[in-house]
Structure 1
Amino acid sequence: EGLGIVRRIHPERNVTEGCCLEGIGHIYHGQRRFEDALAWYGKAHRMYRKTVGPESEDVGRVVCNIARVLSRQGKRDDSNEKFEEGLAIIRRAVGDEHPQVADPLYSLAECKEEAGDLEGAIVCLREAQ
C-alpha cells in the first residue's frame, strides 16, 4: 500500500520509490525468501539507476544487498563479485574514508574467509578499521 501511495504522489518516479522497493527486498530477505528478495532488490537497483544515477551510494548499497542474498544462497563467487562491484560504486560515490565503506568491506571479508581466502579477508578487515 505504501508503494502505491508513493507512486500516486510521485508519478514521475523518484528515489523514495527505490527505497520502498529495497525495503520490500529486505523483508523478503529476512523471511529467507531469497528469490523474491533478489527480484525486489533488482527493481530497486533499476529505479535508483534511473533516478539518482548508476554511480550513487544507493546503487552501491543495493548491489551489496544483492550480494548478501547470493551469499545466503551459497553462491560465493557471485556474492564476492557483487560485493566488490557494490563496494567500488560506494567508494566512487562517497570516498574511501566514508563510514558506508566499512560494512561492505566486512561482508566481503566474510565471503573471502568462507572461500578460504584468509589473507584477502584480513586485508578487507584491516581496511574497514
Structure 2
Amino acid sequence: MTRDRVSAWNERADGRFAAGDYRGAERLYRSALAAADRGGRTSRVTAVLLNSLGVVCKHLGKFREAERCYRRALGVLTERDDTGPADLAALYHNLGGLEHARRRFARGEPFARRSVQLREQAVGAHHPDLAADLTALAALLDQQGKYAEAEHLYRRALAIFRRAYGPEHSEIASALNNLAALHQARGDDARALRTYRRVFALQERLVGPAHPDVAFTCNNLATLYTATGKPHLARPLYQRALAIFESSLGEAHPHTAVCRENLRRLTERTRRRIRKKSSRV
C-alpha cells in the first residue's frame, strides 16, 4: 500500500511540475518522500524522490534545501551496488545547475563536466540525455565568457535533440533560449532577437502562455529590447513576465525579484527622459 501511495504522489507531483505548479509539486514530492522514508531510507525510490524534490526547490529559489536533497540522494546512491553511471550523472547535472542558479558558474563547471563524462559512458554520444548535460555545461561556460566552447556544445546538443524529438520540444526551446543569450552576450543583437522570437513562439505552443518558461523568455527578450533602445517593446514583456512569476513562483522568488527590478529600472529611466525633455521646453 505504501509503495502504491508513493507512486501515486510521485506521478501527481511530476504532472504539477510539468505544468509549472512548483509549489504544488513540492508538497506532493514531500508527501511521497515521507512515505518512502518509512519504507527504508536507502531505497532507490528515496534517492529519486530526493532528486526530484531538489529540482523543485531549486526552481522555487530554495537553494540550500535543494543542495541538501541532491547530496543526500548522492549519498544514498553511492552506498548501493546497483547504481549505474546514468544515476550519478543526473545528480551531478543537477548540482551543476544549482550552482548556475546561484550564479557560481566556475563552481558548477566541474559538476557539469562530470555529468557529461558519466552520461556518455552510460548512453553513448547521441542520446538526448547527453544533450541535456551538454546544454547545462554550455550554460555554465558562456556565463564565464567561454563563448566558443559554449556555442559548440549548444549546437551539438540541438542536433541531438532534433534527431531524437523532431523540430518542437521543450529541450530544444531551452537550448535555443540559452543560445540567444549567448548571441546577446557577444553583441550579436540581431541573431539574439531572431532566436528569442523562435523560442517564444515555440514555448507558447508547447507549455502555454502562462508557464514560467515563457516568463523567463519574456524577461530575456525585454532585456534585449531595453539594451537596443526599444523600451516601448520591453515594458509589456517585463509586465507579462512579472505577472507570471508572481503567480507561479511567488513574490520572493529570485526570478520575480530580478524581473521586478528590471521593470523598475526601465520605468525610472523613462521618467528621467521625460523630465529631461520637459526641462528643455
Does residue 95 (structure 1) correspond to residue 166 (structure 2)? The answer is yes
- Give the deviation of 1:27 after TM superposition: 2.6
- CA displacement 1:55-106 (0-9 Å, x = unmatched): 1222111111111111211223332222222222222222212222111111
Q: How far, CA to CA, are the matches of 1:43 and 1:10 in structure 2?
A: 20
Percent identity for Structure 1 against Structure 2: 25
Does residue 107 (structure 1) correspond to residue 178 (structure 2)? The answer is yes
Q: How far, CA to CA, are the matches of 2:192 and 2:139 in structure 1?
A: 16
Aligned-partner SS, 1:73: coil
- Give the deviation of 1:3 after TM superposition: 1.4
> Equivalent residues in 2 for 1:1-129 (5 A)?
1-11=72-82, 13-128=84-199, 129=201
Q: How far, CA to CA, are the matches of 1:126 and 1:30 in structure 2?
A: 24
What is the aligned-residue RMSD (CA, Å)?
Answer: 2.1
Name structure 1 gaps, 5 residues minimum: none
Q: 1:10 to 1:32 in 2, by over 3 A?
A: farther
Name structure 2 gaps, 5 residues minimum: 1-71, 202-281
Q: How far, CA to CA, are the matches of 1:126 and 1:49 in structure 2?
A: 32
TM-score when normalising by structure 1: 0.83
- Give the deviation of 1:53 after TM superposition: 2.2
- What is the letter of the counterpart of residue 90 of structure 2? C
- Give the deviation of 1:12 after TM superposition: 5.2
Q: How far, CA to CA, are the matches of 1:12 and 1:2 in structure 2?
A: 12
Aligned-partner SS, 1:9: coil
